[in-house]
Amino acid sequence: MRAFRREGDHLVAEVDPGEREVLATVVADVAELLGGGRFEDRARETGSARPQPDASGGPDDPAALAMRLRLDPLPAPDDPAVHRLLPDASRDDADVAAEFRRLTEDDLRQQKIDRLAVLFDALTVEALGHGAPGEEPPDAAAADDEPPRRRRRDRGRHEAVAVVRVAKDRAPALAATLTDVRLVLGERLGVTDEEASERLERDVVHGRPADAEGQARQYLGSVFLALGWWQETLMACLLADLPGALGARD
Q: What is the pLDDT of residue 129?
A: 60
Task: Tell me, yes or no, whether 229 lies in a domain.
Answer: yes
Q: Tell me the C-alpha distance between 200 and 49, whole Å.
A: 32
| Predicted local distance difference test score (pLDDT) of residue 149 | 47
Q: Nearest 5°: phi and psi at 158?
A: -65, -35
Residues 6+ apart with CB under 8 A from 234: 4, 11, 13, 171, 174, 175, 178
Beta bridge partner(s), residue 167: 10
Q: CA–CA separation, 177 vs 154, rounded Å? A: 32
Q: Judging by DSSP bridges, how do beta strands 10-15 and 162-167 pair with one another? A: antiparallel
The pLDDT tens digits of the residues spanning 129-183 come to: 644 444 444 343 444 444 544 444 444 444 568 899 999 999 999 999 999 999 9
DSSP for residue 12: E
Is 201:159 a contact under the CB 8 Å cutoff? no
Q: Tell me whether residue 184 is in a domain.
A: yes
Full 3-state SS string of 23-49: HHHHHHHHHHHCCCCCHHHHHHHHCCC
Q: Is residue 165 part of a domain?
A: yes
Q: Indicate whether 78 belongs to any domain.
A: no
Contact 43, 125 (CB under 8 A): yes
Give the whole-angstrom CA distance, residue 71 versus residue 85.
22
Q: Into how many domains does the chain fold?
A: 1
Is 79 within the bounds of a domain?
no
Using 70 as the pLDDT threshold, list the residues of the chain that sit under it.
Answer: 52-71, 127-160, 244-250
Query: Tell me, what's the pLDDT at 44?
Result: 81
Range of the domain at 122: 5-54+109-239
Would you say residue 118 lies in a domain? yes
- pLDDT at position 140, please? 39
Say if 75 falls within a structural domain: no
Residue 103 belongs to a domain? no
